[in-house]
């Protein structure tokens, strides 16, 4: 199972020095991938409550958010081998032609290290801000996925859909990875998991108990097989949103929360269900106030993962 780490892309420590320090140390230790996320707004009175907080607001550190693809492009210049992934970019917020070229550029400049993690969005405030209706977003997402793949793999490119149209055109550059960078989708509903089975290279869950991840991924693989795809080619790429305490939490608890022994057990369980990759989000941990703190956390998590 590959291991990865989320970059200091948000909060007060986000910046070039912290990105370089964390990215280079994580790669040196042995982490095989580096990840970023996307938030457009920190709404003062959110229309859609954030599910992980009592008052429905996003965490304070989300007030500062570097753009995900610009961040990865910067980090690409300061690393050598780590894969560079998004978990996730919300596809409905972006023009898919522009997004396809941005990912292709990242893949070219990183010598083939881009990983395309995509979601469907959940914040009504963000949908309103970008002028995209929440209604019909599933169809927009399906069209956008088709455009990404068309832009990455064909020339000339032509597309005519309900939401997007591309006149017959040459679109360059093409990604280094063939046929294209891996596409991982975040999905929780039955319809979204079916989209993983039909159109993605893997599933990127977060916050789901390990046994539930196992059964949900099996259902995705079964759907892929029914559709004539190779279920063994799909990857399970897990995001671990960490909450580390000095003492153990009582069971039942949220996955990847508790003391380091409990988190090591969750890592072991994730490995046992056959996950291909597990990456850690640690920026919100208590005591992580600087780049040095986050570097120390990467080292601690590497040691915990070896126990798991």
Mind listing the domains of the chain with CATH numbers? 2-241+267-291 (3.20.20.30)
Q: What's residue 203's pLDDT?
A: 98
Q: What's residue 246's pLDDT?
A: 92
Q: What's residue 53's pLDDT?
A: 85
Looking at the DSSP bridge assignments, the partners of residue 35 are: 6, 85
Residue 211's CB is within 10 A of a number of other CB atoms, namely: 11
Q: Identify which of 216, 232, 236 has the alpha carbon closest to the alpha carbon of residue 224.
A: 232
DSSP 59: P
- The whole-model pTM stands at 0.96
Establish how many alpha carbons lie within 13 A of residue 271's alpha carbon, considering only the half-sphere containing its beta carbon: 13
Q: How many helices (H) and strands (E) does the chain have?
A: 9, 13
The two three-digit tokens of residue 51, written as one number:
């599910």
Tens-digit pLDDT string for the chain (308 aa): 999 999 999 999 999 999 999 999 999 999 999 999 999 999 999 999 998 888 999 999 999 999 999 999 999 999 999 999 999 999 999 999 999 999 999 999 999 999 999 999 999 999 999 999 999 889 999 999 999 999 999 999 999 999 999 999 999 999 999 999 999 999 999 999 999 999 999 999 999 999 999 999 999 999 999 999 999 999 999 999 999 999 999 999 999 999 999 999 999 999 999 999 999 999 878 888 999 999 999 999 999 999 87
Q: What's residue 202's pLDDT?
A: 98
Q: What's residue 283's pLDDT?
A: 81
Question: Each residue of 186-207: pLDDT tens digit?
Answer: 999 999 999 999 999 999 999 9
Residues near 28 by beta carbon (within 8 Å), at least 6 away in sequence: none
Secondary-structure percent of the chain, ordered helix, strand, coil, rounded to 5: 40, 20, 40
Q: What's residue 57's pLDDT?
A: 93
Pinpoint the alpha helices (H) of the chain.
16-29, 68-76, 96-109, 124-130, 137-153, 190-199, 210-226, 260-272, 291-307
Q: What end-to-end distance do the CA atoms of the chain give, in Å? A: 11
Q: What is the rounded CA–CA span in Å between residue 141 and residue 89?
A: 12
Q: What's residue 218's pLDDT?
A: 98
Q: Which residue has the tokens 């960078």?
A: 181
Q: What's residue 144's pLDDT?
A: 98
């Amino acid at each position: 199972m590959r291991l990865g780490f989320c970059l200091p892309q948000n909060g007060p420590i986000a910046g070039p020095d912290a990105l370089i320090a964390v990215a280079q140390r994580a790669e040196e230790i042995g982490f095989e991938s580096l990840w970023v996320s996307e938030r457009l707004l920190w709404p003062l009175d959110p229309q859609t409550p954030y599910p992980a907080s009592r008052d429905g607001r996003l965490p304070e550190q989300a007030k500062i958010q570097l753009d995900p693809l610009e961040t990865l492009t910067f980090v690409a210049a300061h690393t050598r081998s780590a894969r560079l992934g998004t978990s996730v970019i919300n596809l409905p917020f972006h023009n898919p032609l522009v997004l396809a070229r941005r990912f292709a550029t990242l893949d070219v400049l990183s010598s083939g290290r881009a990983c395309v993690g995509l979601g469907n969005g959940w914040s009504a405030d963000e949908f309103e801000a970008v002028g995209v209706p929440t209604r019909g977003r599933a169809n927009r997402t399906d069209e956008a996925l088709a455009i990404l793949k068309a832009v990455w793999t064909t020339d000339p490119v032509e597309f005519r859909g309900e939401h997007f149209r591309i006149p017959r055109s040459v679109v360059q550059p093409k990604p280094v990875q063939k046929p294209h960078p891996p596409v991982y989708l975040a999905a929780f509903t039955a319809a979204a998991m079916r989209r993983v089975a039909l159109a993605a290279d893997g599933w990127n869950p977060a916050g789901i108990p390990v046994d539930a991840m196992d059964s949900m991924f099996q259902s995705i693989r079964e759907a892929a097989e029914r559709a004539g795809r190779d279920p063994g080619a799909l990857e399970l790429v897990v995001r671990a949103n960490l909450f580390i305490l000095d003492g153990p939490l009582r069971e039942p608890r949220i996955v990847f929360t508790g003391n380091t022994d409990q988190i090591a057990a969750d890592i072991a369980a994730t490995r046992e269900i056959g996950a291909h990759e597990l990456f850690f989000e640690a920026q919100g941990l208590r005591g992580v106030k600087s780049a040095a703190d986050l570097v120390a956390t990467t080292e601690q998590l590497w040691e915990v993962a070896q126990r798991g």
